[in-house]
Amino acid sequence: MKDQLTEAFVSTKAIFRDGGLVIDAPAGARNAALSNRFYFYLMMPAIIVLAAITLYPFFWLIYMSLHTVDLGLADDTWNNLKNWTRLGRDRKFQEGWWLLLKYSSLCMFFEVTLGVMIALILNRSRYEKILVTIFLMPMMMAPVIAGLVWYYMYNSTFGWYHWLMQSLGILGDKSILGSSSTAMIGIVMVDIWQWTPLIILIVLAGLKRVPRDQLEANMVDGAGDIRNFFQVTLPNLYPFLLIAILLRFMDNFRFIDAILVLTGGGPANSTKILPTYLFDVSFSFFKLGRGAAIALTLLAVTIVLGMILVRVFERPSSTRSNSGGT
């Protein structure tokens, strides 16, 4: 939202500068300055609200991470960065990071692959609109409900998924969530089921924007469908995949609801990805200071990853069309 506002700001400026509206330059400049201030006033309420709900809690979080916070029973006390130094020795914290990365990468890989493939099929289908609506249904479900539904499907006594896998000889008597070697697969599948539709939706939007003449030029150059996909469609999809991956990354880093319902982090901590551990520390053990420190590491890594992704994908050529112009 903030970005959009800044963008609106910049583009209004550009209209005044480049739009040819300005005949008398000094007067135009005065006008521009005036209007900019006017727009700034218009944005003030939004800026104040944003500051209140994002900036204040953010600084409060930093404060907490530096103190021992005792939920109001005693005063917060400065503890010489103990919250932070302890993280270095915290095996569960490190394990949590490793599991989170494993979980996110698995989800991302399958969701993007499946999402792109399904979007490609839907894009050519005559019944695209109906099919998209159907495919979007999992996404509309609350994650906790999705977790519950799958919890029952995975159930080793009456879950049909378990029955199916057992009949095929893939699973034994134990539920997929019951063994520390397979539980991760179980929660990944739920995520894939629920969030692949988002990728489909975004990629479909991207596919509509792939310039047809580039596809045709490549066909005339001698490319078949597969080569055309990798040489033209995929590069033109990069910005859209970036949006999708970024969104999913951020989601995964605060993902907790379905896991709490499905495994609660078990068995034997095999699905205790960092956000789940963070939940334990803050709201089971009520170590709010330590929780704040863990949350800040998550935030920092999210920001860094986001920046890397933007850098990787933001090749100017892939975000703009090259048609027309002199």
Site residues, other proteins (CB under 8 A): 211, 213-214, 216-224, 227, 231-232, 235-236, 315-318, 320-326
d(CA 18, CA 21): 8
Q: Least distance in Å: CB of 320 to other proteins?
A: 7
Q: Least distance in Å: CB of 118 to other proteins?
A: 24
- Compute how many other C-beta atoms are within 10 angstroms of the C-beta atom of residue 14: 10
d(CA 261, CA 149): 10
Cβ atoms of 194 and 107 closer than 8 Å: no
CB of 114 or CB of 223, closer to other proteins: 223
CB of 284 or CB of 323, closer to other proteins: 323
Q: Least distance in Å: CB of 136 to other proteins?
A: 30
Q: Least distance in Å: CB of 233 to other proteins?
A: 11
Cβ atoms of 256 and 21 closer than 8 Å: no
d(CA 139, CA 196): 8
d(CA 308, CA 318): 16
Q: Least distance in Å: CB of 121 to other proteins?
A: 21
In the chain, the amino acid numbered 265 is G
CB of 223 or CB of 298, closer to other proteins: 223
CB of 175 or CB of 236, closer to other proteins: 236
Compute the CA torsion angle 256, 269, 93, 244 (nearest 10 deg): -40
CB of 174 or CB of 227, closer to other proteins: 227
Grouping H, G, I as helix, E, B as strand and the rest as coil, residue 163 is helix
